[in-house]
Amino acid sequence: MGKGRTTSVAGVDLHLELRGPRVRAGLTDALRDAVRSGRLAPGTRLPASRVLASDLDIARSTVTECYTALVEEGWLTARPGSGTQVAARVPSRRNVAEATRPTPRAATGLEPGAEDYAEFPRSLWLAAARRAFATAPHSTYGYGDPLGRLELRAALTEYLARARGVRADPAQIVITSGFHHGLGVLARALGAGTVAVEAYGLDIYRGVLSDEGLATTPVEVDEDGAQVLEIAGAAAVLLTPAHQFPTGYALSAERRAAVIDWARSTGGVILEDDYDGEFRYDRKPVGALQGLDPDHVAYFGTASKSVAPALRLGWVAVPGWLLSAVAQAKGRVDTVSALDQLIFAEFLASGAFDRHVRGRRQRYQRRREELIETLADVAPSVHVTGMAAGLQAVLALPTGTEPQALRAAGRHGLAVSGLAQFRHPAAGDHPSWGDALVVNFSNVSDSAWPGALRALGEVVRALDSRLD
């Protein structure tokens, strides 16, 4: 993206120099300079993010992040129904310097998506690497099969059948560099259309679908999981059935059957994100939805939560009839490191993965129990909702106190997330869930955990008296 691109802004051609490898930073700098120099006058309405992304041949999420950053700095304004415009008063150079200064990160991160990276099983991984390399064929060092190494696909077939009830042949397992990558590949294979998504979930994945030309429509979520009977006019549905993210409930047996009936009657595809299926604490995890109907469910899993996101290893069990389209969407050169695939295959086959996950499961169960005990002592009206599973807990708060709780957490050096940030923007004004904090209890070291727990207790203690 070294050369410039030209787009029309309010009828005037504007040349944007997108310098360097970081496209978003280059676009942000170019628009900021255009406003500062007066080429974009105050009040000028900018193109919609989708339009500008199309003009510049870049991802829509890149434009959205750019606009958001410039709104926060004061260069632009954004109001519902009015679009994004150049601000009436642009910030002074001093304000710009302050606005662009990196925001100090909270001392303790309890936001979802992260984990304690010190837990990476270095010795077990090194041992698996030695064994894998000792027997690796010379073909390992070539470009490899875009769909993945047969050794890993076979190992995953055995493991997923045993641990998650997934039914698939090795030929149906496609190796990806994580869920984000796999979802993009499946979206391209599905083509245009609408995907129903849970009304609460990660916006980054809704963005993946949008970037691939698919619209999303929200489906409300309650204590029985997604209300799948609401699905209408969609070609596919993206679900977290084993442990809904972030509310923490499983899709009920009745709704599991109902969504399978929907897929069979409409020809729709269920995209099953089994992001933390290994981590259930009160009993054996419920099996994957894919086991009920492999012809209508594409099953996604990754090593990100169980081992480490740095591996960039994920997998999709693809319905046989969809495999050709997935292979075409992935392309001939879109490969994942063959060396890491071989190591992970050995890690699985040797039993090291099972031992590693078992240790993590015990540790996180203990963390969750300590969190519940602390809340019972300091704020008995604040409850952990959802089932005993996963790496995060949802703390129900008094109505209207979520923003206050987030600010208080920041003052205590904690980075936590509010439930509202996960709600689909088109889900309506009557959310099915009230105010809550989403707290990741896997992201701090054993030495830092007691302090983080005390700080979190102080945050919720102040709110406890406001609950009925």
Reading the chain (468 residues) residue by residue, the pLDDT tens digits are 445 666 665 555 656 655 555 678 778 888 888 888 777 888 888 888 888 888 787 888 888 888 888 887 888 888 766 788 888 865 544 444 444 444 444 456 787 776 677 889 999 999 999 999 999 989 889 888 999 999 999 999 999 999 999 999 999 999 999 999 999 999 999 998 999 999 999 999 999 999 999 999 999 999 999 999 999 899 999 999 999 999 999 999 999 999 999 999 999 999 999 999 899 998 888 899 999 999 999 999 999 999 999 999 999 999 999 999 999 999 887 889 999 999 999 999 999 999 999 999 999 999 999 999 999 999 888 889 999 999 999 999 988 899 999 999 999 889 899 999 999 998 876 677 889 999 999 988 888 899 999 999 999 888 765 544
Q: CA 442, CA 413: separation in Å to the nearest integer? A: 17
Whether 165 and 278 share a structural domain: yes
DSSP assignment string, 180-220: HHHHHHHHHHH-SEEEEEESBS-HHHHHHHHHTTEEEEEE-
Domain span at residue 444 reads: 108-118+354-464
Whether 275 and 407 share a structural domain: no
Show which of 350, 385, 414 is a domain's final residue.
Answer: 350
Show which of 35, 67, 100 is a domain's final residue.
Answer: 100
Nearest Cα residue to 278 out of 165, 202, 168: 165
Nearest Cα residue to 360 out of 308, 313, 306: 306
Whether 271 and 362 share a structural domain: no
Q: CA 463, CA 468: separation in Å to the nearest integer? A: 11
Whether 298 and 223 share a structural domain: yes
Number of domains in the chain: 3
Show which of 100, 135, 153 is a domain's final residue.
Answer: 100
Whether 171 and 62 share a structural domain: no
Whether 44 and 154 share a structural domain: no
CB atoms within 10 A of CB 337: 16
Whether 330 and 395 share a structural domain: no
Q: CA 30, CA 18: separation in Å to the nearest integer? A: 7
What's 68's domain CATH number?
1.10.10.10
Going across the sheet that includes 392-396, the strands are 384-385, 392-396, 436-440, 417-418
Give the residue carrying structure tokens 């979206």: 187
Whether 343 and 408 share a structural domain: no
Whether 407 and 316 share a structural domain: no
Whether 277 and 410 share a structural domain: no
Whether 335 and 418 share a structural domain: no
Whether 361 and 340 share a structural domain: no
What's 175's domain CATH number?
3.40.640.10
